[in-house]
Amino acid sequence: MSTEKVSKEPLFSKKNKKLITDPVTDNNPITIQVLGICSALAITVQVSQAVVMSLSVLFVMIMGNLIISLLRHMIPSRIRIIVQLLIVASLVIVVDQVLAAFLPDLSAKLSVFVGLIITNCIIMGRLEAFAMGNKPWPSILDGFGNAIGYGVILIIVAVFRELLGSGTLMGYPLLGDSITGTGLYSIGYMNNNLMILPPMALIIVGIIIWVQRSRNKELIEEH
Amino acid sequence: MESTLDIFVKAIFSENMIFAYFLGMCSYLAVSKTVKTAVGLGLAVIFVLTVTVPVNYLLENYVLKQGALTWIDPKYAELDLSFLAFIMFIAVVASMVQLVEMLVEKFAPALYGALGIFLPLIAVNCSILGGALFMQERQYSTILDATAFSLGSGIGWFIAIVAIAAIREKLRYSNVPGPLRGLGITFIVTGLMGIAFMSFMGIKYGEEVAEESAPTETSASDQTPENN
Amino acid sequence: MAFNKESNGFTFGFAIVLVIVLGVVLASLSEGLRPFKEKNVRVKKQLDILSAMLDIEKEGITRANAEDIFPKYVDLNDAIIINYKGQEIGKGKEAFEIDIKKEFRDKTLEEKDKRYPLFIAKESNKKRYIIPVVGKGLWGPIWGYLCLKEDMRTILGVSFDHKQETPGLGAEINKKFFMEQWKSSQISNDQGMFQKYEVVKDMSGKKSDTDNAIDGITGGTITSKGVEEMVNRTLKLYSIYFKSKM
């Protein structure tokens, strides 16, 4: 490195803050970078699933970015990708084991998708693009920001699907009880069961992208 | 129990990797701009899936799960290595993809150039690891079932990506509103295709027909050797 | 740093150290958490068995206290294992360990080697019989427990569950409104001959008067029919055992 000044950057400087806020909107991993779609669609039937998944990804991203950043000067470039993969896979195993031991019902619902965090392109993408070349603290922030950006989309989609599809949020019936016919159901409202089925997740994300691009004209594709 | 053929057909249609489980979305969206690249990637995915899932099946059943290592020594009956599954599966997948990459580079250099970065990315394609994980979760009892599942899943993925590529090529000539163009409309069209594929849920698989036609009285006495 | 991180020696060494460290960390975690994981599986099974017999919500039985409460209702030493012909082939605690889901799915396991557990429970000072059932839904396995009264004929209660049936449709098989219907129905007639269950789309469409009719779930036909198949196939077998005890 050339004439690098050894001045310490404040922990939450403007540059560092951007690491957190960018991925939530303008550089959102799901809707802009088009990464991590698979789990975003499958785990959004209920808000509780989306929350647990987002927290798991948050843990893996922060720890992953931190570990790789700490080791970045030591990792031989030939086995770079394998090392990243090993670290991520191990972190996911930790998450999976802890879930199976302490939150068994949720673990059963998430089933294979916890394992699929390994192939979540966001994680590998950020490790390679950021953590390999940056200091630990910014790497932590970058991991945090991207995980939040991912979580926000997941939860938005889950809120729509759970509310419109089952009439509940986090398990609490908000619109009344559909079986006994109280609340909104007494005037003939029925749950939109299509929301619970996989295709609707795709359509909802499509709409979110529509909204995002309408607000930020620069993101519109040529064709 | 389900026949091997049922597993195969289900994997292609009603449990399609893309439309039912959303696995492999990233490369699906990125490589479906033209039919040519879609076909190339689709074939690569079929190959990798069909090879890695059976290999992982052998790993799971003879090395990883509880009591799997008893063929070396019976005292290993209590040993459960299944927590290493993620690492071992992804290692198998990564090596297989490396192999495919070398083969494609040698025998189809034009395709290699067209696919670019997406070929090594198959390693992190959720559908490949997902295939292995589903195989493990559903505990298919024979390697033939596991292979039928992976071949079917690959073919299903192939159909999905070629179909969306064909549609996207035509969509370029339509008047899609700015913000929806490209990614947005692809999501929505994929959603619609997913709804269409759900119609396959109605397929009645072989054995269920036989069950219903068996009358009550005689079947109770079928079980006992003596008739009352 | 003086050494060359790209050298073969370092690359090799790094890889080995990494693998060993990861291996040790993961293995210790897995072993350390094992008792928790095993307890979770055990407790779930206990809850499922009890829920066929009682309203566990009302009785306040949860994952936290299930292990203590379970033996008060079910004495595993009395449990029985029968074979595919309805004959008793075993007794005792090992009945609880039988994984019927695994046996159902295992194509290499022959019919004659399959084992069917029967749990004997006591509730309200009466003997209860609890039968595990397993079958195929639309998207995955479905299973449950049926609880019979002391006459070995009348259903006291049932509990069903599933892995991934369609929420709002097939998934409703584990809701009270579906499970209540099975109560008080009789699985066999006075001579001990098995009486089939039929899940119908509307109650007036019963095929015959002797069949037990259950109202299926609208929109969840395949799952509902899966429950019918599962119950009939299993009860057909157990009714032979019960008949031999009459």
* The predicted structure's pLDDT at residue C203: 66
* The predicted structure's pLDDT at residue A59: 92
Burial class (CB in 10 A: 0-12, 13-18, 19+), B39: middle
CA nearest B129 in A: which residue?
A116
Residue B66 at interface with chain C, using a CB cutoff of 8 Å: no
In this complex, the residue of B142, B211, B225 whose CB is nearest that of residue C107 is B142
Q: Which pLDDT tens digit goes with each residue over A127-185?
A: 877 888 888 888 888 888 888 888 888 888 888 888 887 777 776 777 666 656 666 76
Helix (H) or strand (E) holding A168, with range, is: strand A168-169
Q: Which of B118, C25, B26, B136 is closest to A87 using CA atoms?
A: C25
- Beta-strand runs (E) in chain C: 80-82, 88-91, 116-123, 126-136, 141-148, 155-162, 197-200, 212-215
Residue A2 confidence (pLDDT) above 50: no
* The predicted structure's pLDDT at residue B210: 34
Q: Which pLDDT tens digit goes with each residue over A38-70?
A: 777 777 878 888 888 889 889 998 999 998 888
Rg of chain B in Å (alpha carbons): 22
Residue B218 confidence (pLDDT) above 70: no
- State whether the Cα torsion C121-C126-C127-C131 is positive or negative: negative
* The predicted structure's pLDDT at residue C211: 64
End-to-end CA distance of chain C: 85
In this complex, the residue of C19, C30, C41 whose CB is nearest that of residue A97 is C30
Does the structure's ipTM exceed the value 0.85? no
CA nearest C83 in B: which residue?
B223
Distance (Å, whole) CA C142 – CA C133 = 9
Distance (Å, whole) CA A36 – CA A42 = 11
Say whether A28 sits in a helix, a strand or coil: coil
* The predicted structure's pLDDT at residue B58: 87
Residues 6+ apart with CB under 8 A from B7: B140, B145, B148, B149, B152
Mean residue pLDDT across chain A: 78
Distance (Å, whole) CA B127 – CA A112 = 11
Residues 6+ apart with CB under 8 A from C194: B216, B220, C187, C188, C235, C236, C239, C240
Residue B83 at interface with chain C, using a CB cutoff of 8 Å: yes
Higher-confidence residue of B25 and C158: namely: C158
Mean pLDDT of B108-118: 74
Residue C44 at interface with chain A, using a CB cutoff of 8 Å: yes
* The predicted structure's pLDDT at residue B226: 38
Residues 22..51 of C with a Cβ closer than 8 Å to B: which? 22, 26-27, 29-30
Distance (Å, whole) CA B36 – CA B20 = 25
Contact C182, C162 (CB under 8 A): no
Residue B162 confidence (pLDDT) above 90: yes
Q: Which pLDDT tens digit goes with each residue over C129-163?
A: 999 999 888 777 889 999 988 888 888 889 898 87
* The predicted structure's pLDDT at residue B214: 34
* The predicted structure's pLDDT at residue B67: 67
Portion of chain A with pLDDT greater than 90, in percent: 2
Distance (Å, whole) CA B220 – CA C208 = 17
Higher-confidence residue of C93 and A10: namely: C93
Q: Which pLDDT tens digit goes with each residue over C164-173?
A: 777 667 778 8
Higher-confidence residue of A12 and C241: namely: C241
